[in-house]
Structure 1
């Protein structure tokens, strides 16, 4: 909570200049997507643009809004708006962007219009106009970021609906009273992982997890289910979300010997660091059984496919929307003006 208050004060004092996609409406939804990857270090700029988990999710949301507003039977007489912001797959960025979404509830528009900056300009632009009521916030995707965003939103009784945060702790209604999600919690993945291990007679395994909300909560659920299902965890290692090569190799050396199968409840960057280390040090190789933090993500295995061969990963079932492909392929950076990140993604040799 102290971190929430610290970022809150900073956001009130410093105006935001981040890009955002805005759909005007009588009411609005906020949305947080990891359009860019996480910064390489604290205070650094966001990482490269992410097409699958960023640009495509933005476009899917904009398309869904178009469909809702075009159907007069869903919200008759009401235009649904939205404000989409970039969380950069970082809890601090997600929290700062959420503060911007609820800024009207914290500092009324009248106060902003009478700020020194507004007085100097002697005018109020459309961006300074009072925002439409905020119904709720969609996202962010990562569990660690969702926890921090929820700590802020519940202060104002603003609902939050996450599309991919699976951490089991978010199911605690006493702590996260305005949080909802459209994906199952990690307890179901833990049960499936144990069933998968039992089916292959892998009852003596190592375990690795990312040392943040997603990995900690998931590994706790796995330990409980493993104890019930007769699976023994020989040794457990925790790694940072983006660990350095030496950190990963040291952890793998501690796991060297004994079982050659390891359950990996890891965020994507952690999983890639593991694969990279096993590529450089083949004798440290483990057969990874991974949660949905890795799943079918190409960015995790790009260039490391031979070293990922044989691994098993879980993926939450989601039907393939073929009509979205048709819509997405018609988009052009020359005409898609409402998505400020699409042009950057589409231009050759673009950087973040």
Structure 2
């Protein structure tokens, strides 16, 4: 491309230098030669140029270097290219009749045929920017026929790159209606290039939007071997990777040379690939050659995606033979528009038999010959005469069925129309400039007497208008228009004909970005199922599995591996939140099961019932003792301490209920404090009772009566209170320093949350239990020493037995508690509380209730003192 640009620059330089003689030899400049170009001309105050494809091939003469080279000739009249040129003529005529747009300026035009040949198009562009006056007088104004202020063209990307590279040096604005290469968006290389057709960059994103809409993640890409195709290939791969929309199964470049071996290889790749979607960014000529090979190999079952270059292709691709393969094609098409009045303008086209019509060219005559298959006599210079009768000039276009008059599907023409109006609005804005407030140096403005193309570029960048069809036209910082495309579908009709219908659109909104709208009910699918095909390298992984990419293959090709527990599938297996776990199918997260010692489960129900039973028994025992409080057995066993002991046992039974149910902060803090204080109160009463028994025995000895004064009622209450207060102080310090708190434990089971109370301070919990154990041990030792006292009913024996049970239970509790997980630790502690409480209740009060209720004859002072014979 660089060497091509250098060659074109040299051509431009030699052309200009050949047109100007040295002032040492002449006072005027004279063109030595002129290019022979097909064109249309109309005078005006300001001239706009145009480059159109009116013939689609050319013949260059052989170079012998022994005679003057002949000019190339163009052949193959392109009636649609001629209609595009006529659209520009119509737009300029419409602007000249508009009193609100350029009211004081008349626009003219010079339109040239590029013959679909870069060299001819470049000659035409040089002719437009240099002027065509044969002689320029230097002594006067050094001015000849004014050059064009801007150019509408080119009709393809490659010639646009070449021509814009040169025009950009002189900041001559060029507004293309058909060049889509994203390379032209480079403002540094093409500073004066604009276009009214979206760039391939947006076309690529539009195709990706369609792929994502139908979940086609595995597709093949075919591109033409030119600037258009090669830039699309790079852009498509980059955008597809960034969007995460899928992968390319293959990328092939279609040769210009129509190499049958290369085409055979490409189609063979398509046939063997698992991709059911084929995207083609190429020209119609490429597709014709490609489809011949597709038919030969009978490659069916493909969904074709067409670029705008061949979406609205002519009948060459829409034959019944090819529709078997191309039916249902989806494509990106240039925005269709409506141009009111264009048909009437086209009907006014009329040839001038004497070659002096207002156009000053022979293109109209060539059109006439092509349309009516007649010939002029003599034929225009450089034109191969048509067969048939002579043209009379009386032929009527309205009575001829020709594609030229069908304006129901104006697409490139609509872009030409917008390009002309963009230049006109820019010129209008430039002429509205107030002197002294202009954007140029010294706040100057452009004037009609000395208009410069580079000044128009400034105003083109700021153009913003709305067409009569309702489309907004403005250019971004790269010269690209606000993009919009129609989505087309090739419908295969029952009679074998094809119809290209619009099924949606894709556009970029300034605020919402790219938007795709599709009417899927209208889409024709060329498959037995009449539904969109599946095109994936690997099917989506089922629930509970993750994708494992295959080494050396695209990311769309993968194996499915089951997710581990606690994870669900997406692109990768992802872990569930802390309070959730994977479902059995591994397809979503579900709340974890919760576990705690509940009132609803059998274990909780049994422990609750046992606790309430113990509380009830305590109440019954208390009632019995109150009712029989005057009997010797109640009075002999220190009734006040007995009542306190029964109440403390009742609290011990009730405190076990705090260990059942979902742990809360208050229950965690209260359960151990209530448990510790209740049992200390209980054991303190037993310890004082034991000490009183020993004191009474010692008092019965000579000189021991003075010892009883230390064990009066006040001293007994004070001792119980003091011992219990120490435990309360221990609990208070524990709760303040490191309080027990609820905890969600997931260490026992991954799929289950175990609610438990952590003790906070292990030292605090150990001191609480140690203090209870200390009092229990002391009571046991004292009772053991008093077990052989001579009384018939010696309570020291009962206390010894009860303390033995109590200590055995709590010694067994410690290892069981440590080794039990979750709710079972709470159950072990509740069981220890209930077992020790029942042990104390039964051991201390069982025999007494037995005597009171069943052996009242023993409830006498003599029997208690062992003086009444046992019956």
TM-score in same-fold range (> 0.5)? yes
Q: Structure 2: state its 5+ residue gaps.
A: 19-32, 63-71, 375-382, 385-871
Structure-1 residue corresponding to 2:266: 251
| Aligned-partner Cα distance in 2 for 1:41–1:245 | 26
1:177-216 Cα offsets, whole Å, 9 max, x none, are 1111112222221112112122223211111101111112
1:56-86 Cα offsets, whole Å, 9 max, x none, are 1111111111111122332233221111001
Structure-2 residue corresponding to 1:165: 179
Please state if 1:56 is matched with 2:83. yes
The alignment partner of 1:201 has SS state of coil
1:190-269 alignment runs, 5 A limit: 190-227=204-241, 228-241=243-256, 243-258=258-273, 259-269=275-285
Distance 1:41 1:229, change over 3 A: farther
| Aligned-partner Cα distance in 1 for 2:134–2:366 | 33
How far apart are 1:324 and its partner, in Å?
1.9
Structure-1 residue corresponding to 2:349: 331
Task: From 48, 51, 68, give the equivalent of 1:32.
Answer: 51
Report which stretch shifted further, 30-39 or 318-327. 318-327
Larger radius of gyration: 2
Report which stretch shifted further, 326-335 or 235-244. 326-335
Please state if 1:280 is matched with 2:296. yes
Structure-2 residue corresponding to 1:125: none
Structure-2 residue corresponding to 1:149: 163
Distance 1:247 1:345, change over 3 A: farther
Kept in 2, the 8 Å contact 1:278–1:285? The answer is no
How far apart are 1:88 and its partner, in Å?
1.8
Alignment RMSD: 3.0
Q: Structure 1: state its 5+ residue gaps.
A: 113-128
Kept in 2, the 8 Å contact 1:91–1:146? The answer is no
Structure-2 residue corresponding to 1:319: 337
How far apart are 1:232 and its partner, in Å?
0.8
The alignment partner of 1:313 has SS state of strand
1:283-294 alignment runs, 5 A limit: 283=299, 286-294=302-310
| Aligned-partner Cα distance in 2 for 1:7–1:305 | 44
Please state if 1:189 is matched with 2:203. yes
How far apart are 1:8 and its partner, in Å?
2.6
Please state if 1:100 is matched with 2:100. no
Task: From 43, 62, 65, give the equivalent of 2:92.
Answer: 65
| Aligned-partner Cα distance in 1 for 2:127–2:216 | 48
| Aligned-partner Cα distance in 1 for 2:317–2:257 | 15
Distance 1:286 1:47, change over 3 A: farther
Distance 1:41 1:132, change over 3 A: closer
Task: From 41, 45, 66, give the equivalent of 1:22.
Answer: 41
| Aligned-partner Cα distance in 1 for 2:189–2:209 | 30
How far apart are 1:269 and its partner, in Å?
1.8
Structure-2 residue corresponding to 1:296: 312
Kept in 2, the 8 Å contact 1:241–1:267? The answer is no
Please state if 1:5 is matched with 2:5. no
Structure-1 residue corresponding to 2:327: 309
Distance 1:47 1:310, change over 3 A: farther
Report which stretch shifted further, 15-24 or 31-40. 31-40
Structure-1 residue corresponding to 2:136: 110
The alignment partner of 1:256 has SS state of helix
| Aligned-partner Cα distance in 2 for 1:313–1:69 | 37
What TM-score, normalized by structure 1, do the two folds share? 0.84
Report which stretch shifted further, 155-164 or 286-295. 286-295
| Aligned-partner Cα distance in 1 for 2:341–2:103 | 26
Higher relative contact order (CA 8 A, sep 6+): 1
Please state if 1:86 is matched with 2:106. no
How far apart are 1:222 and its partner, in Å?
1.5
Structure-1 residue corresponding to 2:152: 138
The alignment partner of 2:167 has SS state of helix
Distance 1:152 1:300, change over 3 A: farther
| Aligned-partner Cα distance in 2 for 1:233–1:282 | 23
How far apart are 1:343 and its partner, in Å?
2.3
Distance 1:56 1:282, change over 3 A: same
What TM-score, normalized by structure 2, do the two folds share? 0.36
Distance 1:147 1:193, change over 3 A: same
Distance 1:40 1:133, change over 3 A: closer
